[in-house]
Structure 1
């Protein structure tokens, strides 16, 4: 009789982390907009990030392979200059699913990084999404009412620029706040 594999899956994704100053700009804006727009779930400031690839449920034994493949994917990657710019919603403007902060700067380099990551993850069995890559920072989910502050949304957080030089592998802890744990990071060009 064989022992059942009882190892629990971890829900993982690869992302660009944000410096604290960027998270603070988003948090100030979300507190202001939150007075008018009611969402069921506001993202914890420590959880702000730019998703590069969602991996889904993964066994812990595969984490080292993911990190090794990620490191190989970014060995020639140069730093990327990014900035906060604008905001918007996914879903109907009258009942949005997601409120997000926008990204500007070297977004073409970010798109090429995302392609390099998804290519590196393919041999490990992780398929890229079918939809086009739209980098953003999720701020809130599940709209529940209040006035849609279009002017406030479109303005977005106060602009701030930063240089990104790494990717992180996050684990999701559902129903926790903050809910993302860093399992590892890979620095560009190393």
Structure 2
């Protein structure tokens, strides 16, 4: 099973992001657009794991979630990895209570590592992926780069499975733990 831990987004926020994707398409941006059901914030990518690891994983996620209270985040603007000039991933930024989000991510990372899960060590850059392999050459995106898109509360951690079904990547919510 290909797994990751993240923050799911409320339905109204996903709808706002879907409308933002539509606006970007109208501007001429092309790419492999993320479906509304796949919009989220990744905290830890776990990769391929055997099902016998799920119990330890859900216990760890619950332990971490129980030590945090819900907090607010804001999303908006437009960015790309590695940059807008050479983009392979188009995203909207996450801001708001970033110290709390970073602390939550660090605690999750620490606890999972202590349970011998193999984790990525790259720097955390909170974002919501909108499209992969975007084509944005010669498109003026300056007015959407600072556009505010909405606010939401982080209220739970979610264990997602990433699966390919009928040729499409689908993220399935396997488990969630409410922030205390």
- Same topology, TM > 0.5: yes
In 1, distance between residues paired with 2:87 and 2:119?
25
* C-alpha separation in 1, matches of 2:133 and 2:160: 22
C-alpha displacement of 1:110: 0.2
Please name the residue that 1:7 is paired with: none
**Which blocks of at least 5 consecutive residues in structure 1 are unaligned?**
1-9
Distance 1:92 1:136 in 2: 14
Q: Give per-residue Cα distances to partners, 1:48-106, cap 9 Å, x unaligned.
A: 00000000000111111100011111212011101112121112423410000111110
In 1, the alpha carbon distance for the partners of 2:39 and 2:157 equals 13
Provide the C-alpha distance between the structure 1 equivalents of 2:95 and 2:84, rounded to a whole number of angstroms: 22
- State the TM-score, normalizing by the size of structure 1: 0.86
SS of 2:82 mapped into structure 1: strand
Matches within 5 A, 1:41-190: 41-144=32-135, 147-156=138-147, 158-174=148-164, 176-177=167-168, 179-189=170-180
Larger Rg: 1
For residues 39 and 17 of structure 2, the distance between their equivalents in structure 1, rounded to whole angstroms, comes to 9
CA 1:148–1:174: 2 relative to 1, 3 Å:
farther
TM-score, structure 2 length as denominator?
A: 0.91
Partner deviation per Cα, 1:2-41 (whole Å, 9 max, x = no partner): xxxxxxxx000000000011111111011110231111x1
Which blocks of at least 5 consecutive residues in structure 2 are unaligned?
none
Which SS does the other structure have where 2:88 is aligned? strand
Which range is displaced more, 88-97 or 66-75?
A: 88-97
**Cα distance in structure 2, aligned partners of 1:135 and 1:19:** 17
- C-alpha contact 1:37 1:147 (8 A) present in aligned 2: no
2:158–2:175: 8 Å Cα contact kept in structure 1? yes
Q: In the superposition, relative to structure 1, how do residues 144 and 152 fare at CA in structure 2: closer, same or farther (>3 Å)?
A: same
Give, in angstroms, the shift of residue 161 of structure 1. 1.1
What is the deviation of 1:128? 3.8
Aligned to 2:29: 37
